[in-house]
Structure 1
Amino acid sequence: MVLPELVSIVCGDNISAICPALGGSIIGWSVGEQEMLRRADADAIASGDPLAMASFPLVPFSNRIGNAQFIWKGREIQITPNFAPEPHAIHGTGWKQAWTIAERSDAYCVLELQHDADARWPWPFEATQRFTLSAGMLELKLIAINLSDEPAPLAFGHHPYFDMDGAHVTFTAARVLMSGEDAMPYEAITPNGEFDFSTDSKVAGRSIDHCYAGWDGKTRIHWTGRQLALEITADMEAAVVYVPKDGSAFCFEPVPHVNNALNLPGELPTMPIVAPGEYFTATILLKAVNA
């Protein structure tokens, strides 16, 4: 079994591994003896599937664009669906492209991706992920520059997976977007019942694949019987929560816009629009703390 190259960064007992070839994904992150993300094993890496990694980038958009189409400045844009059998486009393009190593040191790694306009996304952009380890922390600095000659939609989030066994989550958000069988949001409501995580809440047993809007940028995850908890902070106003009914891992994804934002222009937070040569930037900080 020949595996793609992994890049390890280390700061004391804080260790992370990254795979540029598999969508610039994080393979794992541990502090001491505790895994803080769901680690991708050798079989997962060999599969080449970013959905089996610990986390992967969401650029130039998050989650789904309904039926892989939208109207932009009066013209209909059709992009390539990439998640069969769904008719939608999902998670952008960066997770299915190889990234290159731009910088690297013991506790720091920078990956870059150049996207040329094509059927997957009609505007060129350059994306950068900066991974930095410090005491108990993993910082993700996400940067995307619009290389087209017109203002273009351009966003950048991340898609981390966490072990569901014994997991409890706490966060607040103003609204949760309810979605139908087609996975498209149709109504925003105040979180309630299984969608409410405003107090310490067990994750397992729920069935959720929804976007939360008006997230305050702070989330805490802890696991029964484990020494370390996790604090997530980000300068983004939305988050996607994915809890499969019978799965072993769940997702809490900091993102800058609601699902299907390009077809829901009035729903906050909207899709970022970036001028030619300008940047979209975001920072996600994952911090291990005593439980």
Structure 2
Amino acid sequence: MRDVSLNPVRPLVTDLTNLTELAWLDDRAIAPALVTLTSGATRVVVAPEVGGALAAYYESTPEGALHWLRPATQAAFDERDPLRMASFPLFPYCNRIRDARFEFGGGTVDLSGNDLRFAHALHGNAWRHPWQVGACTESSVELHFEHTPDPQQPGDWPFRYRAQQRIELVGGALHVALSAQNLGDRPMPFGMGHHPYYPRTAQTRVYANVQRMWHADADVLPTHLGPHPAVEALRHGMSPDAFALDNNFANWSREATIAWPDEHRQLTMTADTPFDHLVVFAPANDAQLCVEPVTNTTDCFNAVDMQEQVGGCVLEPGEEIAATLTWTPRKG
């Protein structure tokens, strides 16, 4: 059952036909139930049923929607695909786990079989399920997801936990507070993050103060931490076309800026600890660009002897963790 507790002036909507605010979609579009947050001219469209994802974050202007994140397409709604939303939450780990298995608590955690599209477990399980809607105002909404292991489902995450997002507009800035609690009676390995996609143009630049990069193999799994020309490029404003990247970066300052200098605007993302790791996904000859704040590197659960370098943590029974991400736009 979905728990819907909404301000009447901000109802969940399913028929987008008359919503001119969502004009980037076809005027005949039908989407899952959405929540639209407003603050002045800024809008955030949330798709609870599509993995608790953000569908869009934009400013409404006389010329149309000015998007700060890549907006979801109609196909993303049709297929309920979080991977094609504007951003989606990552619980209870970020990125890949090699061969979908790792050792923990004296046994093997086998996550294989839950998604045959991927050879390695990917992004946890919260993005694969609908989220419940909690308290909602004109400018904020709370989303909740609770996972109980299903022994009959191959590759199901074998630990019980609760996750929450509080998504809020403050002025033009977007705040996403993420939290989780171990609801089980045994320790649980854990990590979290968000997976934002940004508009990518020929003039886009990414700024981030990072120290080293995790080099990766053909399966995009980390092999070693070391120098790379992208480290220096990010400090001075890296073009997404400069390298073919799908890599973790270490020791970032928890601040990154995506700039569109030809459009005279930029978006700065800041993160609380323990979002101490940064992923940059900028594939060659592709329109995608992600700059992702995460608490753990790829395959961290299989690198138990490198905890300080790979992040992640273990939540004891009943233990909670919380941290906030903020995106602040600027024009001019």
Shorter-normalised TM-score: what interval?
A: over 0.9
CA-to-partner distance for each residue in 1:32-65, whole Å, 9 max, x for gaps?
A: 4321000112232112111110000000000001
Gaps of 5+ in 2: 1-28
Partner of 1:52: 84
Letter in 2 for 1:251: C
8 Å CA contact 1:154–1:280 kept in 2: the answer is no
Q: 1:26 aligns with which of 34, 50, 54?
A: 54
Q: Normalising by the residue count of structure 2, what TM-score does the alignment of the two structures yield?
A: 0.84
Partner of 2:12: none
Partner of 1:143: 179
Partner of 1:96: 128
Give the superposition deviation at 1:248: 1.4
Structure 1 stretch 81-90 or stretch 273-282: which is displaced more? 81-90
- Are residues 193 and 255 of structure 1, via their aligned partners in 2, closer, same or farther at CA, if it must alter by over 3 Å? closer
Alpha-carbon RMSD across the aligned residues, in angstroms, is 1.6
Distance in 2 between residues matched to 1:81 and 1:88, nearest whole Å: 10
CA-to-partner distance for each residue in 1:156-192, whole Å, 9 max, x for gaps?
A: 2000000111210110222211111122111101232
8 Å CA contact 1:167–1:204 kept in 2: the answer is no
Q: Which structure shows the bigger proportion of residues in strand conformation?
A: 1
Distance in 2 between residues matched to 1:95 and 1:277, nearest whole Å: 22
8 Å CA contact 1:81–1:90 kept in 2: the answer is no
Q: Normalising by the residue count of structure 1, what TM-score does the alignment of the two structures yield?
A: 0.95
Partner of 1:286: 327
Partner of 2:211: 174
Distance in 1 between residues matched to 2:296 and 2:312, nearest whole Å: 5
- Are residues 8 and 215 of structure 1, via their aligned partners in 2, closer, same or farther at CA, if it must alter by over 3 Å? same
Structure 1 stretch 228-237 or stretch 80-89: which is displaced more? 80-89
Letter in 2 for 1:21: E
Letter in 1 for 2:80: G
Runs of 4+ aligned residues of structure 1 deviating over 4 Å after TM superposition are none
Give the structure with higher Rg (CA).
2
Gaps of 5+ in 1: none
Give the superposition deviation at 1:86: 3.4
Partner of 1:13: 41
Give the superposition deviation at 1:150: 1.4
Partner of 2:312: 271
8 Å CA contact 2:94–2:298 kept in 1: the answer is yes
Distance in 1 between residues matched to 2:39 and 2:269, nearest whole Å: 19
Give the superposition deviation at 1:224: 2.9
Q: Percent identity?
A: 29
8 Å CA contact 1:36–1:162 kept in 2: the answer is yes
Number of matched residues? Answer: 291
